[in-house]
Amino acid sequence: MEVIIQSTTEQAALLVARLIAKRLRAKPALVLGLATGRTMEQVYGYLAEMHRREKLDFSLCRTFNLDEYVGLPARDPHSYRYYMDRHLFSRVNIDRRNTHLPNGTARDLAAECAHYEEMIRDCGGVDVQLLGIGADGHIGFNEPLSALRSRTREKALTPATVRQNAPLFRGGVKAMPRRALTMGVGTILDASHVLALVTGAEKAAILAKAVEGPITSMVTASALQLHPDCKVIVDEAAAKRLRGRSYYRWIFQNEPEWQEFRPR
Ligand code: F6R
């Protein structure tokens, strides 16, 4: 795992967008694992801008989102399908048929989850998985005690997640679904590369647990320590509680792989 600290939230999001763009240019038929949430909005903004200004090409790219709420159809403005259309898919030249989210309205949710895993396998697996970290340390909707080898399945959301996301629902806590379909921790760990973005002071304590604490299913983001190629990009506010801050800063300033991403 590498932790990379950027001065501002914007710089952290831009770095993540540039890392994705680099992979997409190297492999136009990239299989991209996507996340939703507030943290990702800026990343998608930068990717849309790169498409507009630099002709970043998504025409062959295939995407698989981490999760979707149970019971919300694609046309519901709170669904993650709606979020993805709004923040990314409608702003770049992606073929909508190549974009995938678990279907939270499927009659047989277990069969839908098995089918989702099969589709990922048929595409050759996820090349780059984008992640945020939730207030309770989840990745995807892998809430505390999710098995570290879990696969795509239905999960009940914790009160912390409901509190975190309720402000995004017009009806608040009451309107928020209590269940979601989510890739498992094992599904996420199968991706070739993982890119996590964590920003803001309110994530500082959980970030420290995830990257410097013990690996535990109580904080599923801590499972990323097991991944052989995981980069965690953070802003200064989120980095506040990391004991290894000065080492992480040194890595970004000195390691050759980061040279092209350092401000000139
Ligand atoms: C969303 C997802 C979640 C979020 C996490 C952080 O698809 O999988 O794990 O990444 O809850 O959400 P924000 O960015 O809103 O703090």
Cα 132 to averaged position of ligand 1 atoms, centre (Å): 5
User: What is the chain's Cα-based Rg?
Assistant: 17
Which protein residue's CA is at the shortest distance from atom 11 of ligand 1? 134
Index of the ligand 1 atom closest to the CA of residue 142:
9
> Could you tell me if the CB of 149 is within 6 A of ligand 1?
no
Supply the pLDDT for residue 12: 98
* pLDDT tens series, the chain, 264 aa: 999 999 999 999 999 999 999 999 999 999 999 999 999 999 999 999 999 999 999 999 999 999 999 999 999 999 999 999 999 999 999 999 999 999 999 999 999 999 999 999 999 999 999 999 999 999 999 999 999 999 999 999 999 999 999 999 999 999 999 999 999 999 999 999 999 999 999 999 999 999 999 999 999 999 999 999 999 999 999 999 999 999 999 999 999 999 999 998
Which protein residue's CA is at the shortest distance from atom 12 of ligand 1? 37
* Cα–Cα distances in angstroms (integers) from residue 47 to residues 55, 137, 228, in the given order: 10, 26, 26
Is residue 222 within 8 Å of residue 185, measured between CB atoms? no
Supply the pLDDT for residue 96: 97
CA distance 238 to 199: 5
Pocket-testing residue among 9, 16, 32, 39, ligand 1, by greatest number of atoms within 8 A of Cβ:
39
**Packing angle between helix 38-54 and helix 9-26, nearest 10 degrees?**
50
Q: What residues are annotated to the active site? A: 67, 136, 138, 143
> Could you tell me if the CB of 128 is within 6 A of ligand 1?
no
CA distance 126 to 31: 5
The helix/strand/coil state of 1 is coil
> Please, what is the Cα angle at 240 between 66 and 198, to 5 degrees?
15
The region, left, alpha or beta by phi > 0 then psi within -120 to 50, assigned to residue 31 is beta
What are the E-state strand segments in the chain? 2-6, 31-34, 62-65, 67-69, 99-100, 128-131, 153-156, 179-182, 193-198, 230-235
CA distance 264 to 254: 13
> Could you tell me if the CB of 137 is within 6 A of ligand 1?
no
Q: Is the dihedral of CA 210, 6, 16, 43 positive or negative?
A: positive
Is residue 105 within 8 Å of residue 68, measured between CB atoms? no
CA distance 175 to 169: 6
Supply the pLDDT for residue 220: 98
> Could you tell me if the CB of 67 is within 6 A of ligand 1?
yes
Which protein residue's CA is at the shortest distance from atom 1 of ligand 1? 36
Tell me the DSSP string of 199-218. -SGGGHHHHHHHHHS--BTT
> Could you tell me if the CB of 138 is within 6 A of ligand 1?
yes
Supply the pLDDT for residue 264: 85
Strands 2-6 and 230-235: parallel
- In terms of Cα–Cα distance, which of 85, 79, 105, 90 is closest to 169? 79
Is residue 8 within 8 Å of residue 40, measured between CB atoms? no
> Could you tell me if the CB of 142 is within 6 A of ligand 1?
no
Does the global pTM surpass 0.85?
A: yes
